[in-house]
Amino acid sequence: MFNDIIRPRRLRTSDNLRRLVRETRISPESLIWPIFVVEGENIYQEIESLPGQYHYSPDQLYRMVERAQEHGVSRVILFGLPKDKDECGSGAWAEDGIVQQGIRKIKELAPEMYVVTDVCMCEYTSHGHCGILCGRDVDNDKTLEVLAKTALSHARAGADMVAPSDMMDGRVAAIRSILDENGFQNIPIMAYSAKFASYFYGPFREAAGSAPSFGDRRSYQMDPHNGREAMRECELDVTEGADILMVKPALAYLDLVHEARQRFDLPIACYAVSGEYAMVKAAAKAGLIDEYGVMCESAVCMYRAGADILITYYACELADAIRKGDIG
């Protein structure tokens, strides 16, 4: 028999009430916007695979800063596209490397902007893999040395946080050690802890020029079948000194975002990757979905699963949506 005393719909009767009792709260302060910095001058070019996102040369980063400030976004993560690449990816840790130039320029334009840097080798190596090769395999331990040097160079350039995305074993410990030895004890590490070998990365590899020239990254990025292993990776990063854990991609891995939130006390980030963004853009362009609504709903799902931080190409649009009260 229907129990007319218990009526959950009472709390859905008005927009004012629905906002009052929301279980999931989202703030613009939790958004990080990915930015692609390229060597050269006067480069401000839309990325074909990521509509609405741009390649910026350092002298054009003022455009990004102005847009971010206009929308109330104060945190970015930088990816660099060098002019020249070599076998060992030496541009990654060069004092005048493209990410290092980008950090300095952003800090000059907006000292209050919080700058996170992606620490990986794939954009800098001539072969496109995330580390130093031994034959056709990535040498884990040799790669740790160059990742540590890269993170240190970012900190010296003024980065507020480093985020290793390479998936080498032991890289968090190596980076923590070199930062601490050089007086950067207060620079946090956001580890790409559970980063999967995903088909959702396609648009990013075009945007960052980072596709491998042979093979794939399945020998170091995670198998999408494995959830328990993802938690093991998170646990290892905790023991090595990570300050924030990340699951990447986001939507297809929300079960692992939720499990990480239940298991670990550290902040949990997720990355709504290029393929997720591009699919929404393409479906909206075809008239199949409401882009704004799908953007908002997807973000809510990520936070509801347990994310504290969202890295997203929709950072500016989501910040606006939060202020309007459509989410948040």
Reported as a single tens digit per residue, the pLDDT across 167-202 is 899 999 999 999 999 999 999 999 999 999 999 998
What pLDDT shows up at residue 311? 98
What pLDDT shows up at residue 103? 98
For residue 274, being part of any structural domain is answered with: yes
For residue 17, being part of any structural domain is answered with: no
What pLDDT shows up at residue 189? 97
Banded pLDDT at 245 (limits 50, 70, 90): very high
CB 204 within 8 A of CB 122: no
Question: What whole-number distance in Å separates Cα of residue 181 and Cα of residue 187?
Answer: 12
Lowest mean pLDDT among 86-100, 117-131, 251-265: 117-131
Catalytic residue (choose from 85, 248, 281, 285): 248
Predicted model pTM: 0.94
* Segments forming the whole domain that contains residue 236: 25-324
Residue 213 has pLDDT above 70, yes or no: no
Nearest C-alpha neighbor of 241 from the set 174, 195, 196: 174
pLDDT, average across residues 307-327: 96
pLDDT, average across residues 222-234: 97
Which two tokens mark 249?
């991609």
Residue 19 has pLDDT above 90, yes or no: no
CATH value at residue 279? 3.20.20.70
Banded pLDDT at 217 (limits 50, 70, 90): confident
CB 79 within 8 A of CB 37: yes
Q: Is 215 left (phi over 0), alpha (psi -120 to 50) or beta?
A: left
What pLDDT shows up at residue 45? 97
What pLDDT shows up at residue 16? 83
Q: DSSP letter at 90?
A: G
pLDDT, average across residues 76-101: 93
pLDDT, average across residues 204-225: 77
CB 103 within 8 A of CB 80: no
For residue 1, being part of any structural domain is answered with: no
What pLDDT shows up at residue 2? 58
Active site residue 248: yes
For residue 260, being part of any structural domain is answered with: yes
For residue 61, being part of any structural domain is answered with: yes
Q: Is 47 left (phi over 0), alpha (psi -120 to 50) or beta?
A: beta
Reported as a single tens digit per residue, the pLDDT across 253-293 is 999 999 999 999 999 999 999 999 999 999 999 999 999 99
Active site residue 195: yes
pLDDT, average across residues 98-120: 97
What pLDDT shows up at residue 178? 97
Q: Mapping DSSP to helix (H, G, I), strand (E, B) and coil, where does residue 121 land?
A: coil
Catalytic residue (choose from 195, 281, 285, 324): 195
- Phi, psi (rounded to 5 degrees) for 169: -70, 130
For residue 106, being part of any structural domain is answered with: yes
Lowest mean pLDDT among 14-18, 130-134, 192-196: 130-134
Give how many domains the chain has, as a whole number: 1
What pLDDT shows up at residue 208? 65
pLDDT, average across residues 109-134: 89
For residue 11, being part of any structural domain is answered with: no
For residue 14, being part of any structural domain is answered with: no
Banded pLDDT at 81 (limits 50, 70, 90): very high
Higher-confidence residue of 11 and 107: namely 107
Mean pLDDT estimate for the chain:
93
What pLDDT shows up at residue 264? 97
